[in-house]
């Protein structure tokens, strides 16, 4: 499989959001984005589009963790990063960024990518009950900050 403009167009926003949520630094997020697609270039074995998407999510999260270990910077100016065109997403995203990675990754995959709990558990290599717990706690934190209208 060759990296084509179509793959970057299709999955680029998802990878960008994951990188920004985890790294909270736009320069590191750009570097991580590039590394993810370089890894995709070298990886050729995908059974389906779902397999490719799950692989990209897992590699994006892992690559972000690697960057955090090396260069973690704690601030990002969300106005400098165009992440979404939806008003609700723009209100939700800064709050989502304040959560621990274990909550924001689960919330992102559940709400933004539409994965079910069992699928998130497989992607993140976690127990389904752990994912349910993180989703419940993450929702609670978001409700405290935003109110019931968004959850």
Domain membership of residue 56 as a residue range: 1-77
Whether residue 43 sits in one domain with residue 26: yes
Does the predicted model carry a pTM greater than 0.85? no
Q: Which of the listed residues 38, 55, 77 is the one where a domain comes to its end?
A: 77
pLDDT of the residue at 108: 85
Whether residue 12 sits in one domain with residue 62: yes
Q: What is the C-alpha separation between 123 and 43, in angstroms, rounded?
A: 17
Whether residue 134 sits in one domain with residue 107: yes
Q: Which of the listed residues 48, 77, 106 is the one where a domain comes to its end?
A: 77
pLDDT of the residue at 126: 92
pLDDT of the residue at 84: 42
Q: Along the chain (151 residues), what's the average pLDDT of each consecutive run of 10 residues?
A: 76 92 85 92 83 93 86 46 45 76 87 89 92 91 71 50
pLDDT of the residue at 76: 45
pLDDT of the residue at 72: 47
Q: Which of the listed residues 47, 77, 107 is the one where a domain comes to its end?
A: 77
pLDDT of the residue at 112: 82
φ/ψ (deg, to 5) at 80? -80, -10
């Amino acid at each position: 499989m060759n990296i084509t403009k179509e793959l970057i167009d299709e999955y680029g926003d998802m990878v960008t959001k994951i990188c920004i949520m985890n790294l909270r630094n736009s320069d590191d997020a750009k570097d991580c984005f590039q590394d993810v697609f370089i890894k995709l270039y070298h990886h050729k074995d995908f059974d389906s589009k779902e397999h490719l998407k799950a692989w990209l999510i897992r590699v994006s999260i892992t690559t972000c963790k690697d960057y955090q270990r090396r260069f973690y910077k704690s601030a990002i100016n969300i106005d400098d990063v165009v992440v979404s065109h939806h008003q609700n997403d723009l209100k939700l995203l800064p709050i989502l960024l304040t959560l621990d990675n274990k909550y924001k990754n689960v919330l992102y995959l559940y709400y933004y990518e539409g994965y079910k709990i069992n699928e998130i558990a497989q992607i993140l290599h976690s127990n389904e009950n752990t994912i349910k717990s993180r989703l419940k706690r993450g929702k609670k934190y978001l409700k405290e900050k935003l109110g019931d209208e968004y959850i």
